[in-house]
A and B are shown apart, each in its own frame.
Chain A
Amino acid sequence: MSSNDEEMDLKERLDLMQKMIAEGRRKQESWGWTFVLWGIAYYIAFFWAWLGNFVYAWPITMLAAGILTFIGFARPRRRSPETTMGRAIASIWIATGSSMFILFDAMGFGMHLADARVFFAAASAMIGLANAACSLTLRWKAEFICAIVWWAAAVIACFGNLVTAIAAFLAAIFLCQIVFGAYMMVLESRQRRQVASHA
Chain B
Amino acid sequence: MPELPELNPVIHGKLRLALLSLLAGVEEAEFTWLRAKTGSTDGNLGAQLMKLEEAGYVAVEKKFVQRKPQTIYRMTDGGREALQEYVQALKQLLGAAI
B29 contacts A by Cβ under 8 Å: yes
CB distance from A16 to the nearest CB of B (A): 6
What residues of B have a CB within 8 angstroms of the CB of A87 in the complex?
27
Q: Report the bound CA distance from A3 to B70 in whole Å.
A: 44
A197 contacts B by Cβ under 8 Å: no
What is the total number of residues of chain B having a CB less than 8 Å from a CB of chain A? Answer: 28
A25 contacts B by Cβ under 8 Å: yes
Contact call A81/B26, Cβ cutoff below 8 A: yes
**A13-B17, A24-B24 known; A79+B36 contact, CB < 8 A:** no
Contact call A21/B97, Cβ cutoff below 8 A: no
Secondary structure dominating the interface of B: helix
B32 contacts A by Cβ under 8 Å: yes
| CB proximity to A under 8 Å, residues B52-92 | 65-66, 70, 87, 90-91
Stretch in A4-12, A59-67, A109-117, A147-155 touching the partner: A4-12
What residues of A have a CB within 8 angstroms of the CB of B90 in the complex?
10, 13-14
What residues of B have a CB within 8 angstroms of the CB of A14 in the complex?
90-91, 94
User: Can you sample 16 A-B contacts with CB below 8 Å?
Assistant: A3-B97, A10-B90, A10-B97, A14-B90, A14-B91, A16-B17, A16-B18, A17-B18, A20-B18, A20-B25, A21-B21, A21-B24, A24-B22, A81-B28, A82-B27, A199-B36
4 closest A-B pairs by CB: A24-B25, A20-B21, A81-B26, A25-B25
Residues of A within 8 A of B (CB): 3, 6-7, 10-11, 13-14, 16-25, 76, 78-84, 87, 199
Residues of B within 8 A of A (CB): 12, 14, 17-19, 21-30, 32-33, 36-37, 65-66, 70, 87, 90-91, 93-94, 97
